[in-house]
Amino acid sequence: MTDRRLGIGVVGCGGIAHFAHINNLARNPRARVVAVADIDLDKAKTTAEKWGIGAYYQNYHDVINHPEVEAVFVTTWPTAHAAPVIAAAEAGKHVLCEKPIATTIEEADAMVAAADRAGVKFAMGYQPQFGRVWPAVKHLIDEGVCGRIMGTSIIGVSPSSHRVPWFLKRELAGGGILMDWGIYTSYFIQWLLGPVASVSAQKEIFRKEVQVGDTLLTDIDVEDTVAAILRFENGAVGTWYSGWAVAGSHSSTSIDGSQGSILMRSGVEGIGVYTNNVNQPDYLKGWRQLPVSEMPLQDQHYGKLAHLIDAVLDDTPLVQTGAAGRDALELVLAIYRAAETGHTVTLPLPRDHSTADSVSVAS
């Protein structure tokens, strides 16, 4: 294991850069942020001064071309992910991209292809994979606690009023609750249960106006509620309901199979497990609560950043890749298409090969 520090450039100096990235990079002994960029040069300057970063720019190409930058972390809004990721990969820089990978499958394919051609590591930003709960669930499933997986039920609702308007504009965010919050669900259910074969869905905009600071937004064009039915390639079925225009807040995820079930619920510590596996002693059969406590969110973010840093410095494989981020986006886009057409949509989605490798990397 090398003790040198990886030179990192950050593209985008908004809230997620400060909350999840730069602060955690500052406490990682194997990392050093050498440059930042933001389309608002004052924001880039303020960020650099706050964290003692030596260079700041308005154009992300300047970060990529900085001689000490070896990896680029992209923390812009979703529709601005593709261009800097592709440019960084083509320059031979490793990449970590915040979720979602992009807002079109053509962009996502072009990003993954650029990293593959350049032979650089391309990681995504799904921090719960570096916590305790989701890895524990993955272990239980892989150990066969549920037996043959038959179904899953996912509910996640909570009132949300984002502090910045771009979350509520399709041209910047690519979608609403499904693209922002649901992209996590899309990633994790496929990590746990495998690819989805088909979906049917409905979506709605119930909240027509949102107060963001001193501004009342009245032109919201992204969904706040989605309900979907899933069929997995392994034959399992599932339901998925998400909403962020509601008054209350609650969530639950169940995974059910021929020999047992796993249940997670908001407000209940740990992971509920039921098993009737004949190989288990009697005292382990039935429902029990495994005392798995989640680590703080900041530490999960630290883990996702350290994942790429360690993979680069130690030349080890990634466990969370751009390709998996691409698949999470594809499921979200399939749900959108199903809701908009009223028809069941099969996966994979048709790919436009004429545009997948020609996404613009202009500034």
Rounded to whole angstroms, the Cα distance separating 166 from 315 reads 37
Listed in sequence order, the residues at least 6 apart from 200 whose beta carbon sits closer than 8 Å to its beta carbon are 228, 229, 338, 343, 344, 345
3-state secondary structure of 72: strand
Rounded to whole angstroms, the Cα distance separating 163 from 159 reads 13
CATH architecture of the domain 129-293 equals 2-Layer Sandwich (3.30)
Domain boundaries, the chain: 6-128+299-320, 129-293
Is residue 360 packed enough to be buried (19+ CB in 10 Å), middle (13-18) or exposed (0-12)? exposed
Share of the chain above pLDDT 90, in %: 84
pLDDT at 354: 46
User: Each residue of 226-251: pLDDT tens digit?
Assistant: 999 999 999 999 999 999 999 999 99
Find tokens 């261009």 and name the residue.
83
- 186: part of which helix (H) or strand (E)? helix 182-193
Q: What's domain 6-128+299-320's superfamily in CATH?
A: NAD(P)-binding Rossmann-like Domain (3.40.50.720)
Asked if the bond preceding 100 is cis, omega within 30° of 0, the reply is yes
Q: Is the pLDDT of residue 165 over 90?
A: no
Contact status, residue 8 vs residue 72, Cβ threshold 8 Å: yes
pLDDT confidence of 218, banded at 50, 70, 90?
Answer: confident
pLDDT at 70: 98
Is residue 147 packed enough to be buried (19+ CB in 10 Å), middle (13-18) or exposed (0-12)? middle
Going by their DSSP bridges, the two strands 345-346 and 149-157 should be labelled as unpaired
Name the residue with higher pLDDT: 362 or 194: 194
User: Each residue of 17-55: pLDDT tens digit?
Assistant: 999 999 999 999 999 999 999 999 999 999 999 999 999
Mean pLDDT of 331-343: 98
pLDDT at 356: 46
User: Each residue of 198-211: pLDDT tens digit?
Assistant: 999 999 999 988 88
